[in-house]
A and B are shown apart, each in its own frame.
Chain A
Amino acid sequence: MKYIRVNKILSFCAIAALALSTSSCKKFLDVNDTPNNPLAIPPNVALPGAIVGSAFANNNELNRFGSVLIDVTSGAAGSPLRWDRYNTDGDDFGNQWRFEIYDGALVNYKKIIESEGKYQSPVYSGISKIMMAYTFGMTTDCWGDIPYSDALKGNGATQPKLDTQKDIYLGAAGIQSLFDLVKDGMKDLDKKGLLIPKTDDVVYGGDIVKWKKAGNTLLLKLALQISLVEPAKAKAIIDEVLASADSYIKSNSENLEVKFGASVGSRSPVYEYTRISSFRTDQLISTRFLTKLQSTNDPRLTAFITKPGANYVTVDNGFAGTVPGFDTRSQFGNYVTGINGEGPVRLVSNWQRAFILAEAVLRLGTAGDAQALYTEGITASMQSAGVSGTDITAFLTANPTIATLSGTNEAKIKQIIDQKYISLVGNGFEQWTDWRRTGYPDLPAHQNAVGIDGTRPVRLQYITQEIQRNPNFKTGILPNVKVWWDVN
């Protein structure tokens, strides 16, 4: 009797256990699909994040660094203070490399390109390729040799090999050049697709014509970058663009610039770090930049620099004394930050294009009138800063040595870069990169400079953490080692 009951219960248990351990158990355990994250996203959702990533990388830490290094701002505390003494190392820019450039912008451009078939979205691929070329260009300009053809492969290459800057610009076996990447993108823009960008394109709102102009203008910028090491190639590219039916950026409304917003979490980095965050006290405008504008009565002064009281308050680069209090300091003006943080972040601009072409005429003998292009650059920059036509004319009249290119080609190039430098305020990366390439403008050494050997850094040191993770990176390449295109 007893045993029967036992057996009954035991068999019940056995059945219950068995039932669970077979089919129903499988179902019971099938709960591992995440409800928290999508497993795929369409390109119109991926594109804004990627483009903003490129703009963020340009405008945040690289800009904080570049602006200090190039005498637009002076460091008062924290990292800008170190940079003001030329001190930078592999712990700087880790977040830019990691979260903004490779794992923010670039990987998502790649995802968009890869998903073109699924979403029938060639225009997104086109935009992504152009922006990818811009972003890789910025990255190699900063760090020299970088992972490029082997990058962004995820599990396929967790320790990507590096390509030389030369191969990235010019291409090689298995390496598509930056120029071809841009051209590829421009071709994609012509393809018909189902998914078309609109407001999710935070640059042109889906205007494909403008993207093509941007692509061509980016080619100009990239070509000029290698003009000292590869003049023939640079000239060929520029000639091609000048002959292109797609044209290039010709008005300020065609600038490749990324717009930001006015509310928390939407504002441009330079607005955040100079006006809002607790890091806002880390820098102020350099006396050198102020003096440069004041000495010529540059009408852009009030747009570029704030005047907190009766006077502009700045300090010299490398200044070691007591820095004036935050509320009394001159900072980047609304032209750079936007009134409430809207930016924009100007990645490639109309005046930049004009200065590029002006320099190319002199340096490479490309078609065009250097003087006219130069004046166009100054004018466009001033217009962008809200300067009236009358004031522009007055400025050029009052400053004949600025208005007219004179002397040797080299002297003229110096004049061009000098004005280009002013016009690129708020894009420390471009200013620094022009200075490295041309040596202009003339920048006296900072006070109390230390650095590696007392000289202004000419590259960014590889990220310490990245070296640690990827043995393909060479160690010991310090910030005083020039990159490939930097030959002067």
Chain B
Amino acid sequence: MKKLLQSLFILLFVATSAMAQERTITGTVTSKEDKLPIPGVSVKVKGTKSGTVTGSNGKYSVQVPAGATELEFTYLGFERLSKAIGGSTVDVVLSPDSKVLTEVVVTALGIKRQASSLGYATQIVKGDEVAQKSDPNLLNTLQGKVTGVNITSSSGAPGSSTNINIRGVTSFNGNNQPLIVVDGIIFNNGVDNTQNTLFGSQPSGRLSDVDPESIATINVLKGPAASVLYGSRASAGVIVITTKDGSGMKGKTEVTFSSSLNLQNASYLPKFQNEYGQGTQNNFVENSTNSWGPKFGTMPTVTTSYAGVVPYQAYPNNIKDFYKQGSILQNSLNIAGGDKDKNFVVNLGSTLQSGIIDHSKYQRHNVQVGGNTKLRNGIKLGGTITYVKSFTKNTIAGNGGSAFGQISRIPRSYDLSGAPYKNDLGNSIYFLPGQNHPKWSLENEYLDNRIDRVFGNTSISYDIADWINVGYRITADVYQDDKNAINRLGAARNPGGLLGESGILRGEYNGDLLINMKKNNVFTDGLNASLLLGQNINQRTLRASEVVAEGLVIPGFDNVSNGTVFTNSSATREMRRLVGHYAQLSLDYKSYLFMELSGRADMSSTLPTNKNTYFYPSVAVSFVPTEVFNIKSDVLSYLKIRGNVARVGRDADPYLLNSVYVKSSYGNNTASINFPMSIGGNSIPGFGASTRIGSPDLGPEFVTSYEGGFNIGLLKSRVSVDFTYFDTRSTNQIFNVAVSNSSGYDTRTTNIGEMRNRGIELQLNATPVRSSDFSWDVSMNFTRIRNKVLSIDEGVDNAPIAGNAFVGINPSIKVGYPYGVIISTANARTPNGELLVNGLTGAFAPGVPNSVVMSPQKDYTLGISNRFTYKGLTLSALFDINKGGQIYSFGQTDMRGGGQIEMTAKDRDQPRILPGVIANGDGTYRKNNIQVSAQTYWAGLGGLASEGAVFDATSYRLREVGLAYSLPAKLLTKTPFGQVSLGFSARNLWLFAPGFPQDPETNSSGAGNIQGVDFNGMPSTKNYGFNLKVTF
């Protein structure tokens, strides 16, 4: 590799010095748009090999042979221009090129490329497509707008994390969230869960620290070919976010103020029955979570031990009234000024959200200052720094002892909102012993987290010559995440109370050396080359400590000093480092044939010292036939064909090489022990072998990708199509393979397995109508991804995915199935697939454990946006379809088996027959004809750990609606305003989910590798509000 680079250098030098010279022409190249000089424009003497590029002031000087008559000027994003050589000065003005293919795209490491040169798919989302969309979470506002991307918000809880996967899940065990880069800063988008995800609260994901209002563009680099330069962590794709700056201000200073107020309501709650109340088998039972009691009207009151005599009647809105209206107030101020060389920006933002349940909120305040300058000696300096402060407070959720664990078990005759929920001592009053009233839980069981985050970059670069630039950039992203878990005395899961006070300090630091070289007409006329050499030094650190106070003494006192037992307290430190070297050679032949060769070698601290270096290459090619053959017409505006092969390696997490010992603990929520134990006044220590076997010879894992596609512009580019097919193979996966527990361990870390993702991405943009006053734009994003686990390990057919799981409900990998299927108990079936019924009871026959019962994989996703503009009025709507995929829901299973939902009241007094057949014992079957009660029937469809808890997650949704009006400029001439626009926006206005009684877009596990589970989480919301944007 080094040798190759050397010879390339030599060739570049030779090309520079081998020019024949006869006379000198000088001139300046400026832009038609802003009249500013354009540096880096290629100036070529037509018919010869000689040429040059303009300097930083747009000036050039070129030696031309005597016979030369014309100079040709080319520059990315501008139309090619030929000009006759008149005198010794030739000044030209270049016009911006409006054609899509010459659009300049910011790719990996901030490198600007002409769109036509890219041999891979990227997709750009502009700032205004994510700003003012009634949702403060950036990822949520990207939903339906990008192909190849799967985004799932986890719940309507304020600040809750959102999962994003680009081109499917590529790692069995690693982080499958894409790398986020904000202004060149590697940006942590982690979710630091300090609680069990089955029983915890939804902490916020760290990308939510980016204010959507501050964003200029988002570029999604989907495949490894696009992201290879980012190295190890880019195998899950990269999202490059560029915030607003002053570089486009053309010398002015502009102040933009935007404000929005949105209201939020819990939405798509199931339809409940209001005919039958609490109890079982038609009897009232005061501590039953079922609504299989007597029909209303049969008895006026019932006597309860917790509230005395209460009316026995339906409370139709008992669940609905549990929720309140939430609100989101967002304000932001952006001040930007300067020009291309010297500019500054200040962004201020504030978001105040109050959630749909009591005591839940999200707040974010951010301030960003940045600027760039160019010194007189030509050195460019730049930097930006952002401070974000955010606060999230959410109740804990999950099965059983939480507000949301209870909310799916509220009998129809229980006055949830009206009945007193606590006594004078502040203790919960509830119908179910051992559990708490959900309102009590909201007040007394929650998690808040406070983030203080600073991220920024500083860079220096210098054009050593007009063809070479050297730069260094340092970025840092540091945040302190303080979490407070509050479980006051009496909390169902911690009756003695528990306070968890944790501080997590994460830091990531990067140093990048970048050497850019560029030369036109190398080897042969029309072949332009650029070479990038880089080095990356990366360090990631974590310092976390948590004080867990249990055995609380003073009611309502939330300081850890209130505890008597602190054995669950802990401290964790982590450090990982990586040094990468990379090179990228880009070749452009006459702007119709492009090739890009990249390679990166990483050395990682997390791999064994003697084998910690790994190399991975990529090659991407694109060809634009419309530029070569004369096939351009009014119908076919352009055509580009592209393809690439790429590989990205990924290192391990730290500290996986050794088997270690851990502090001993036993039990779960039935009973538990934590060392050190306090026995008879002695503190007894206890450590034991960790359940994981380390791997001293661990290697990196790889993702290899093959991608092909084309772009077509039709009807004078009124219609454009972008199609991509990809096939990625993930191999050598670093995974904790499950081992037989009788080996003394639970897992062993090793490199195993293979997984495949294949997919189609189709993007269609069209402007069906375009007139001076009215235009109609349509854009469609279609994604279909097929993931399949091809192999795991010798003799291992499946393995659970790392994370918290209920016994018998395991999110898993299984050979032949998509990633993340849930292995649980399936209904017993005949060889023909008919459900098998027990001939004695009429209930389903005992289920088959260890069966795949659920797959979260979607058939396809489709987003369709329409945008109508009439003069200053713009109406936009985003409709999306998530077809297929399944959801595993505790809540729905509870409500169906508990007789709460509407369909369970229909003909309740009539006996029913479960679908299926009964074995005759001789290999034949008869249709089930055993009548059972409605309660047996609905409960018999399946309990929590069964196939009956699985539902189809298909949804059709009106995701976004926006109406904006920009005041006509002439109205504003006498005001200080440059632009004023007013708007209305809404999210989730309409939903149709045929297979699920609620909104199937939910995931109680939050962002991460476990998807499609609804283990008693919060419902989603419908948001709508008004916004205002003013510029000065």
Residues of A near any B CB (own CB < 8 A): 2, 5-6, 9-10, 13, 16-17, 20-21, 25-26, 28-41, 44-46, 48-50, 52-53, 56, 60-61, 64, 89-91, 94-95, 97-100, 102-104, 106-108, 110-111, 146-147, 151-160, 199-200, 202, 259-273, 276-281, 322, 325-327, 342, 463-472
Given contacts A265-B565, A464-B849, A472-B740, 18 further A-B contacts (CB under 8 A): A9-B464, A20-B579, A29-B604, A31-B605, A34-B655, A39-B659, A48-B675, A52-B666, A53-B688, A95-B807, A153-B743, A154-B748, A160-B742, A265-B673, A266-B567, A278-B400, A325-B287, A466-B740
In the complex, what distance in Å separates the CA atom of A469 from the CA atom of B495? 36
Cβ contact within 8 Å between B579 and A278:
no
Verify if B745 is at the interface (C-beta below 8 Å from A): yes
Cβ contact within 8 Å between B740 and A200:
no
Cβ contact within 8 Å between A266 and B689:
no
In the complex, what distance in Å separates the CA atom of A94 from the CA atom of B675? 22
Chain B residues whose C-beta falls within 8 Å of the C-beta of A90 in the assembled complex: 849
Cβ contact within 8 Å between B743 and A471:
no
Chain B residues whose C-beta falls within 8 Å of the C-beta of A469 in the assembled complex: 738-741, 796
- With contacts A32-B605, A39-B658, A266-B678 taken as known, whether A103 is within 8 angstroms of B746 at the C-beta atoms is yes
Cβ contact within 8 Å between A155 and B748:
yes
In the complex, what distance in Å separates the CA atom of A99 from the CA atom of B673? 12
Distance between A335 CB and nearest chain B CB, rounded to angstroms:
18
Cβ contact within 8 Å between A277 and B669:
yes
Cβ contact within 8 Å between A49 and B675:
yes
Cβ contact within 8 Å between A157 and B655:
no
Chain A residues whose C-beta falls within 8 Å of the C-beta of B680 in the assembled complex: 259, 261, 342
- With contacts A39-B660, A49-B664, A146-B742 taken as known, whether A107 is within 8 angstroms of B689 at the C-beta atoms is yes
In the complex, what distance in Å separates the CA atom of A156 from the CA atom of B744? 11
Question: Which of B417-425, B568-576, B623-631, B713-721 makes up part of the contact surface?
Answer: B568-576
Chain A residues whose C-beta falls within 8 Å of the C-beta of B682 in the assembled complex: 199
Task: State how many residues of chain B have any CB contact under 8 Å with chain A.
Answer: 98
Closest 7 CB pairs of A and B: A49-B664, A107-B744, A272-B671, A49-B686, A470-B740, A147-B742, A37-B660
Chain B residues whose C-beta falls within 8 Å of the C-beta of A156 in the assembled complex: 743
Verify if B143 is at the interface (C-beta below 8 Å from A): no
Q: Which of B507-559 contact A (CB under 8 A)?
A: 513, 515, 535, 537, 550-551
Q: Which of B832-853 contact A (CB under 8 A)?
A: 846, 849-850
Complex A-B: 6 CB contacts under 8 Å: A29-B603, A34-B658, A202-B677, A261-B678, A277-B495, A465-B810
Verify if B685 is at the interface (C-beta below 8 Å from A): yes
Cβ contact within 8 Å between A13 and B464:
no
Chain A residues whose C-beta falls within 8 Å of the C-beta of B571 in the assembled complex: 36
Distance between A341 CB and nearest chain B CB, rounded to angstroms:
9
Cβ contact within 8 Å between A40 and B661:
yes
In the complex, what distance in Å separates the CA atom of A463 from the CA atom of B808? 10
Chain A residues whose C-beta falls within 8 Å of the C-beta of B658 in the assembled complex: 34, 39
Q: Which of B652-678 contact A (CB under 8 A)?
A: 654-655, 657-662, 664, 666-675, 677-678
Chain A residues whose C-beta falls within 8 Å of the C-beta of B654 in the assembled complex: 31-32, 34
Verify if B99 is at the interface (C-beta below 8 Å from A): no
Specify which of A13, A21, A36, A273 is in contact with B671 (CB 8 Å cutoff). Answer: A273
In the complex, what distance in Å separates the CA atom of A467 from the CA atom of B797? 12
Chain B residues whose C-beta falls within 8 Å of the C-beta of A13 in the assembled complex: 470, 513, 515, 535
- Across the interface, name the chain B residue whose C-beta is closest to A108: B688
Verify if B690 is at the interface (C-beta below 8 Å from A): yes
Cβ contact within 8 Å between B745 and A103:
yes
In the complex, what distance in Å separates the CA atom of A53 from the CA atom of B604? 38
Specify which of A31, A50, A159, A271 is in contact with B740 (CB 8 Å cutoff). Answer: A159
In the complex, what distance in Å separates the CA atom of A169 from the CA atom of B466? 85
Specify which of B603, B609, B667, B746 is in contact with A98 (CB 8 Å cutoff). Answer: B746
Cβ contact within 8 Å between B740 and A89:
no
Verify if B434 is at the interface (C-beta below 8 Å from A): yes
In the complex, what distance in Å separates the CA atom of A405 from the CA atom of B589? 105
Cβ contact within 8 Å between A104 and B678:
no
- Across the interface, name the chain A residue whose C-beta is closest to B613: A21
- With contacts A107-B688, A158-B743, A467-B850 taken as known, whether A25 is within 8 angstroms of B579 at the C-beta atoms is yes
In the complex, what distance in Å separates the CA atom of A442 from the CA atom of B27? 110
Specify which of A29, A154, A327 is in contact with B745 (CB 8 Å cutoff). Answer: A154
Verify if B982 is at the interface (C-beta below 8 Å from A): no
- With contacts A36-B573, A111-B689, A278-B435 taken as known, whether A265 is within 8 angstroms of B568 at the C-beta atoms is yes
- Across the interface, name the chain A residue whose C-beta is closest to B797: A468
Cβ contact within 8 Å between A277 and B671:
yes
- Across the interface, name the chain B residue whose C-beta is closest to A268: B671
In the complex, what distance in Å separates the CA atom of A127 from the CA atom of B672? 24
In the complex, what distance in Å separates the CA atom of A30 from the CA atom of B581? 18
Cβ contact within 8 Å between A56 and B666:
yes
Cβ contact within 8 Å between A97 and B689:
no
Verify if B687 is at the interface (C-beta below 8 Å from A): yes
Verify if B468 is at the interface (C-beta below 8 Å from A): yes
Q: Which of B577-635 contact A (CB under 8 A)?
A: 577-579, 581, 603-606, 609, 612
Verify if B829 is at the interface (C-beta below 8 Å from A): no
Verify if B21 is at the interface (C-beta below 8 Å from A): no
In the complex, what distance in Å separates the CA atom of A325 from the CA atom of B430? 13
- Across the interface, name the chain A residue whose C-beta is closest to B945: A91
Cβ contact within 8 Å between A52 and B464:
no
Cβ contact within 8 Å between A31 and B577:
yes
Distance between B797 CB and nearest chain A CB, rounded to angstroms:
8
Chain A residues whose C-beta falls within 8 Å of the C-beta of B515 in the assembled complex: 10, 13
In the complex, what distance in Å separates the CA atom of A219 from the CA atom of B492? 43
Verify if B679 is at the interface (C-beta below 8 Å from A): yes
Q: Mark B775-799, 1 if CB is under 8 A from A, else 0.
A: 0000000000000000000011110
Cβ contact within 8 Å between B285 and A322:
yes
In the complex, what distance in Å separates the CA atom of A17 from the CA atom of B677? 52
Chain A residues whose C-beta falls within 8 Å of the C-beta of B971 in the assembled complex: none
Cβ contact within 8 Å between A49 and B687:
yes
Verify if B308 is at the interface (C-beta below 8 Å from A): no
Cβ contact within 8 Å between A30 and B743:
no
In the complex, what distance in Å separates the CA atom of A414 from the CA atom of B313? 56
Chain B residues whose C-beta falls within 8 Å of the C-beta of A153 in the assembled complex: 743-744
Chain B residues whose C-beta falls within 8 Å of the C-beta of A266 in the assembled complex: 565, 567, 673-674, 677-679
- With contacts A13-B513, A104-B666, A469-B739 taken as known, whether A158 is within 8 angstroms of B748 at the C-beta atoms is yes
Chain A residues whose C-beta falls within 8 Å of the C-beta of B465 in the assembled complex: 2, 6
Chain A residues whose C-beta falls within 8 Å of the C-beta of B574 in the assembled complex: 36
Specify which of A29, A61, A152, A270 is in contact with B612 (CB 8 Å cutoff). Answer: A29
- Across the interface, name the chain B residue whose C-beta is closest to A47: B686
Cβ contact within 8 Å between B743 and A152:
yes
Verify if B564 is at the interface (C-beta below 8 Å from A): yes
In the complex, what distance in Å separates the CA atom of A143 from the CA atom of B688? 25
Chain B residues whose C-beta falls within 8 Å of the C-beta of A326 in the assembled complex: 433-434
Q: Mark B674-706, 1 if CB is under 8 A from A, else 0.
A: 110111101011111111010000000000000
Chain B residues whose C-beta falls within 8 Å of the C-beta of A262 in the assembled complex: 678
Specify which of A2, A53, A200, A263 is in contact with B678 (CB 8 Å cutoff). Answer: A263
Verify if B401 is at the interface (C-beta below 8 Å from A): yes
Cβ contact within 8 Å between B807 and A91:
yes
Chain A residues whose C-beta falls within 8 Å of the C-beta of B287 in the assembled complex: 325
Verify if B496 is at the interface (C-beta below 8 Å from A): yes
Cβ contact within 8 Å between B850 and A152:
no
Chain A residues whose C-beta falls within 8 Å of the C-beta of B748 in the assembled complex: 154-155, 158
Cβ contact within 8 Å between B464 and A5:
yes
Cβ contact within 8 Å between B671 and A52:
no
Cβ contact within 8 Å between B657 and A106:
no
- With contacts A151-B743, A151-B744 taken as known, whether A327 is within 8 angstroms of B433 at the C-beta atoms is yes
Chain A residues whose C-beta falls within 8 Å of the C-beta of B742 in the assembled complex: 102, 146-147, 151-152, 160, 466, 470
Verify if B772 is at the interface (C-beta below 8 Å from A): no
Distance between A460 CB and nearest chain B CB, rounded to angstroms:
14
Distance between A116 CB and nearest chain B CB, rounded to angstroms:
16
- With contacts A46-B688, A100-B666, A278-B400 taken as known, whether A154 is within 8 angstroms of B744 at the C-beta atoms is yes
- Across the interface, name the chain B residue whose C-beta is closest to A152: B744
Chain A residues whose C-beta falls within 8 Å of the C-beta of B550 in the assembled complex: 263-265
Query: In the complex, which of the residues A48, A56, A108 has the most CB atoms of chain B within 10 Å of its own CB atom?
Result: A48
